[in-house]
Amino acid sequence: MRILFDPIRDGLSAIETASSQFATAQQQVASGKRLAGAGDDPLAMQQAIGERATIGALDAYSRANQSAASRLAAIDSVLSGMTDKLTAVSVAGMSARGDHVTPTARAAAAAEVRSLRDALLADVNSSFQGSYLFAGTHVDRVPYADSGGTWTYQGNADVTRVDIERGRSVAVTVDGQRIVQGSDAEDLFTVLDNLATAIENADGAAIQTGLDSVERAFVRTQHALGSLGADERNLDDLASRLSTLRRAAETRRSTLEDVNVAEAITRLGQADTSYRAALAAVSTAERQSLLDYLR
Amino acid sequence: MAGLFGSLTIATSGLTAARTGLDVTGQNIANVNTTGYVRRRMDLAEIAPNASMQAGRGVEVLQIRALRDHYLETQLAREQGGRASDETTLAGLRGVDAMIGLPGESLDVQITSFFDAFSLLASDVTSAPAREGVVRAGQALGDAFNALSTRLTDAQAVHNQSIVAAVSEFNSLATRVAQLNARIVTGGVDVEALRDERTTALAGMAELANISLIERPDGAVDVTVSSGHALVVGANAYPVTATPEPPSGFVSLHLADFDVTGKVTGGRIGALIDLRDTTIPSYQAAVDRLAYDIATQVNAVHATGVDSQGGAGGPFFTPPASVTGAAATLSVSATVAADAGMVAASGTAAAGDNQVARAIAALRESRVMSGGSATAAEAWANIAYQVGSDISAAQASLGTREQIVKQLQRLRDQQSGVSFDEEAANLIRYQRSYEASARYFTTILDTLDSLMAMVR
């Protein structure tokens, strides 16, 4: 059979192949990326986009988690302060009971109760980053308005919730009325105002009624704190879990997108060798001709 | 005629044959790099004796033959056409690949940012910057869809221009084939050279479109497109016309009154038509579908909300008129774009109500796109996968085709290619033949001199 030997054409094909492999390896080493386009590995491309979307969602939940944690910490702080103040009210009320208490002491106790009432009002009306914490979803309204000894709840019974992971949310505002009044007939501020008056009047029955109401407010606040604490612990746990999930997704993404540098450098060396070999092969083969021997 | 003068005739014929052999060898070597050249071989024949006791009357050159294999040439042209088609397809798809971009540098970034913005707004629904962020992210998403759609449309336009240029080249080649047919039929000493040139022209046509060849007894070759419509009949060429069609202005191809656009399925033109009319529109349709789904899903949730002024939520995105063209026109509605307060993030008039912002943020993980089968990111990933998969298929097809073309080229070269080694051997052989014939000639002359000396 007649064999036609064309070292240039056959060699060029080998050079192009080696050159292409060299360029790919060089590009991977330089960029650190395994994928240069969807055509390199369609499935990896598809999965990498999915992993990035997962990472995006996890990051969004982490940000929401941090934001919610800040708000819950603020609410926690306020509620803790309220329990202290309610305890102080109970102490003041109890110390003003009995016939042995002097009018001066009663007046001082009444003044303290009124002072604590104002402080509790300030607590309930506290805000975080411009939003009221205890007005339900009416975060732009002062929760309790004071109009000459009458306190009116301006919030609502709804709460603002933030999604902290898929299908799970946490309340970042509080229905203030549930704490301040609950199922009682009067709100805490009216109760405290009446208690101060009862102390001044040495009205033991009224003082006891007031102290009972304060006790219920204390319990409601403690319940709210307990619920809040559970949410905060969940957020801590979730933050840790989100971080773990993100690391796992990031590892998967990196496996899909990024190049193994050691492997890429090895491939670059191999491609370089192949390229040189192809050039040398063409150079050697091209010199072979019968013409050189027929002189 | 016998005798010494007859011997001189034998010597002369040998010299002529050897010199012709050297010329054929030289011609082969000279054309080793000529596209379409088929090696020539000299056929010799003994001139038989015309009297008894006569060795013969020398040698004659019967013909100089081109060692052509029509079957291989036709197969090679067809496969080269297929290779050109695959190369064109791959180049076009790589262009789309660049438009798609890499993960983290493509539309997935804007999709993620858009839902991130709603998530941030849900975390702080009274924040004016968060509202502005939502509007900006929506605009960025719209811009990204608009840009991608424009790039795809531009790619179609570029392929359309390439079709026009390729058709012009195709017609020139068809005209050249017709002209060569005419000269080949007429005959002459340069017929083989004309056939070489025609083979090159036909290969060029096959690279541009799927053609069929019919060789006629008179040596002419008729060319048709696969539908049977004639492009070249003998000495006549029938040009393909590229006619712009409204509303796109993309050209359709006609042969006389017949629309052959759908019939040209091979070669570069076939690949360009496929890219322009099928492949890129399919990507465009998928991108349009995604843009439409995002707009309608977000709008549906947004419409259930209340804006910062307590008004009912309008559309967040300008409602797309239809799926077709949705990517090109996706934009934040003018009302929302003008006033971020019009973002309906709440389910009620309460300022801290973030239900709608949460619901839109939750669309990120909801499989409500692509007919309820994918999230927005998954739908985008599916588009990227489709492009990548098409590229892989084109690469594989091209790789296979390259091997077939190489194999056919080897087979053709075994039959028709010029080998330096073979020509070098022929060179020596004909040189030696010439030297021997010349030596024989001088021997006869010397013999004649001896004879003449005897007479003197």
- Residue contacts between A and B (CB atoms, under 8 Å): 184
pLDDT at B377 (0 to 100): 96
pLDDT tens digits, A153-201? 999 999 999 999 999 999 999 999 999 999 999 999 999 999 999 999 9
Alpha-carbon distance A93 to nearest alpha carbon in chain B (angstroms): 37
- A2 to B382: CB separation less than 8 angstroms, yes or no: no
pLDDT tens digits, B60-119? 999 998 898 888 988 998 999 999 999 999 999 999 999 999 999 999 999 999 999 999
pLDDT at B189 (0 to 100): 73
Average pLDDT, chain B: 94
| Domain ranges for chain B | 4-67+417-455, 74-403
Return residues 359-378 of B near A (CB < 8 Å).
Answer: 361-362, 364-365, 375, 377-378
Is B213 an 8 Å CB contact of chain A?
no
* CA neighbor of B72 nearest in space, from B422, B407, B418: B407
| Pairwise CA distance, residues B441 & B12, whole Å | 7
pLDDT tens digits, A6-19? 767 777 888 888 88
Taking each helix axis as running N to C, give the angle between helix B267-274 and helix B128-186, from 0 to 180 degrees, rounded to the nearest 10: 160
Alpha-carbon distance B255 to nearest alpha carbon in chain A (angstroms): 37
Is A161 an 8 Å CB contact of chain B?
yes
φ, ψ of residue B40 in degrees (nearest 5): -105, 150
pLDDT at B139 (0 to 100): 98
Q: What is the mean pLDDT of residues B137-148?
A: 98
* H helical segments located in A148-203: 176-180, 188-200
| Pairwise CA distance, residues B134 & B354, whole Å | 13
Is B199 an 8 Å CB contact of chain A?
no
CB distance B362 to B301 below 8 Å: no
* CA neighbor of A200 nearest in space, from A276, A102, A122, A284: A102
- A173 to B365: CB separation less than 8 angstroms, yes or no: no
| Pairwise CA distance, residues A60 & A66, whole Å | 10
Q: What is the mean pLDDT of residues A219-228?
A: 96
Question: Which of B148-157, B258-267, B439-448 has maximum average pLDDT?
Answer: B148-157
Whether the predicted pLDDT of B231 surpasses 90: yes
Contacts (Cβ under 8 Å, ≥6 apart) of A55: A246, A249, A250, A253
Return residues 418-437 of B near A (CB < 8 Å).
Answer: 419-422, 424-425, 427-428
Is B381 an 8 Å CB contact of chain A?
yes
pLDDT tens digits, B6-64? 899 999 999 999 999 999 999 999 998 888 899 999 999 999 988 888 888 999 999 99
Query: Which residue in the set B122, B387, B389 is minimally distant from A163, CB to CB?
Result: B122
What confidence category does residue B2 fall into, taking pLDDT thresholds of 50, 70 and 90? Answer: low
Strand partners, B40: B66
| Pairwise CA distance, residues A73 & A254, whole Å | 36
- Secondary structure class of A289 (helix, strand, coil): coil
Is B244 an 8 Å CB contact of chain A?
no
Residue A60: Cβ within 10 Å count: 25
What confidence category does residue B1 fall into, taking pLDDT thresholds of 50, 70 and 90? Answer: very low
* H helical segments located in B225-375: 267-274, 280-302, 326-329, 334-338, 355-362
The DSSP secondary-structure symbol of A171 reads E
pLDDT at A181 (0 to 100): 96
Q: What is the mean pLDDT of residues B288-294?
A: 97
pLDDT tens digits, B155-198? 999 999 999 999 999 999 999 999 999 999 998 778 889 999 99
Residue A135: Cβ within 10 Å count: 31
| Pairwise CA distance, residues A60 & B276, whole Å | 40
- A49 to B380: CB separation less than 8 angstroms, yes or no: yes
What confidence category does residue A294 fall into, taking pLDDT thresholds of 50, 70 and 90? Answer: low
How many angstroms separate the Cα of A129 from the Cα of each of A67, B4, B123? 11, 126, 12
| Pairwise CA distance, residues A138 & B354, whole Å | 11
